[in-house]
Each structure stands twice: as C-alpha cells, then as structure tokens.
Amino acid sequence: MAFELLLGAWVATGLTLFIFTFLYQDNPLFKLAEHLYVGVSVGYTIVKTYDTVLIRLIYEPMVKQGDWSLLIPLGIGTLMLARYLPNATWLSRIAFGFIVGVGSGLAIPRIISSFILKQVEDTVRPLISIAQGAPTFTYNLSDPSSNLNTIVLLIGVVSVLFYFFFSIEHTGPVRVAARTGILFLMVAFGAAFGYTVMARMSLLIGRLSDLIEYADPQYGRASLWLGVATVAILLLWRVQRREQPPDTG
C-alpha cells in the first residue's frame, strides 16, 4: 500500500477518535483535533482561492492571453480592501454597491419566479379531476398528486397562514384555523427532525465504517492501536488532573 494512503488512514483514524472523545468529556485530544480542523480548513480555502481566482482566473488570462478587460472586476474587487485604510474606507462602498446591486438584480426576479410563483402554482391545483369527461376524486394518500392530498395541502397552507396572521386576535374560527396550522407545523417539524436524526446517524455510520476498514491489517490496524493509545492518554490526563491542586484563583 502507498505510504500516503497509509498515512491518510492513520491521520483520519486518529482525528476521528480524538473527536469522539468529546462524548466522554472535553479534553486536550478533542481540542487538538478541533483546532487542526479549523486550521486545515482555512489553509485549504486560502490556497485553493489563491490558485483558482488569482492565478487561473485573473493572472493567466491577463498575462498569457492578454485579456486586460479583467482589470475592471479586479479593480472593483480591490476596492474592498480599502476598508482597512481609515482615510479611504469610503472607496469600499463602491465595491459593496456593485455587489449588492448586481446580486439583488440577479436574485430577486429569479427567486420570486422559482420559489413563490412556481410554488403558488403547484399549491393551487384542481380539487376534483376530470377523467374521460367525468369528474373523479382520487383518495390515494401515498400519491402526492391525488385529490385528497391536494385538499390536505390546501388546508395546511391556509391554516398555517392563519397561524402567522397576527393582525387580528386568534379567537373563534380564526383560533380553530390557527390551531390546525400548529398541527401541520408540528408534523413538518417532526418530519424535519426525523430526517435530521437520520442524517446524524449516517455521519456516525460513515465514521464507524471507516474505523472498521482501518482496523484491517493492510492499514496496520490503525483503529485498534490508536484506540488503545487514545484511551491510555485519556486515563493519564484524568490521573494528572486529579493530582493537580484545585485552582483557588
């Protein structure tokens, strides 16, 4: 096996175990892994941004291909750095103005079209279908497009909107509608929480699958050796902490 694969397996195993030690309690191994994660992430981001943006998208097209029009976005982008110069901070507003203007111009119409108009269009569906010239009503709850589900969706949307309608007091029929809205919201939160639990368990499964793989002899039984080492370090740390006199500060 290639050395870099072996090293990668040992580093991944060690850091996974170090992070897992937090389940026992906060400790130096966890802090080491946490700080490494932050440092490596930031370092990777800086290097990739430098290589992709400054070198590939700006330097090479300008110097090698003579595309000097890139000086315009480069100039606008550079104005951002004026925030660090107390006398020229105002220059950064030009860059911010450009970003806010272009960003809003691009986003607002597209988001209205995609998330409001399209969703309203999907919500307002016929409650009764016409099949072979005769009105029909489908009851299949597992079919999202059935007529019964269309009614459920309509009741859900209207009742939740009532719940968030604060201009009138929630009494009488409005209270009934708002309470129905809460039921729909609870179902939605439950579904979201269920999916979140599933996602978190998937992450645990992913890490444990890796630990099982790296316990193989071809990886030098990294999981076993590092597991033993992690437990030993934690025990030493506990003993050392007990021996230390309490901080009277």
Partner 1 sequence: MNFAERMLHIDRRIIFLVIGVCTLLPLLYPVGLAIKVSSEVRGVHDYIESLPEGSVFLLSMDYDPASKPELYPQAVALLRHAFRKNLRVIGMTLWLPGTGLADQVMTQVAREMGKVSGKDYVFLGWSPGSGSLIINMGQDLYKAFPTDYYNQPTRELAVLKGIQTLRDVNYVVSLAAGTSGIETWYVYGKDKYKFELGGGCTGVIAPGLYPLLRSGQINGLIGGLRGAAEYEVLIGQKGRAVAGMDAQSATHFAIIVLVILCNVFYLLVKTSRKQGEAR
**Gap between the Cα atoms of 239 and 249, Å rounded:** 22
Q: Compute the residue count for the chain.
A: 249
From the list 129, 109, 106, the residue with the least C-alpha distance to 117 is: 109
Q: Which of the stretches 82-90, 169-177, 203-211, 225-233 binds partner 1 when contact is defined by CB under 8 A?
A: 203-211
Question: Least Å distance between CB 204 and partner 1?
Answer: 5
d(CA 179, CA 12) in angstroms, rounded, equals 49
One character per residue 80-119, x = contact with partner 1 (rule: CB under 8 A): ----------------------x---xx--xx-xxx--xx
Q: Which one of residues 5, 7, 28, 56 is an interface residue with partner 1 (CB under 8 A)?
A: 56
Applying CB under 8 A, which of residues 7, 38, 41, 93 lies at the interface with partner 1?
41
Smallest CA-to-CA distance from 202 within 210, 10, 239, 129 is with 210
- 21, 29 in Cβ contact below 8 A? yes
C-alpha distances in Å from residue 166, one per residue of 44, 66, 122, 131, 171: 48, 60, 26, 41, 12
Q: Is the CB of residue 95 less than 8 Å from the CB of residue 80?
A: yes
Should residue 4 be labelled a site residue for partner 1 when binding is judged by CB under 8 A? no
Where residue 133 falls (left for φ over 0; alpha for ψ -120 to 50; beta otherwise) is left
* 48 forms part of the interface with partner 1 (CB under 8 A): yes
Residue 38 within binding range of partner 1, rule CB under 8 A: no
In angstroms, give the least distance from the CB of 143 to partner 1: 9
Mark residues 113-152: x for contact with partner 1 by CB under 8 A, - for none: xxx--xx-xx---------------------xx-------
Binding site for partner 1 (CB under 8 A): 23-24, 41, 44-45, 48-49, 52-53, 56-57, 60-61, 102, 106-107, 110-111, 113-115, 118-119, 121-122, 144-145, 188, 191-192, 195-199, 201-209, 212
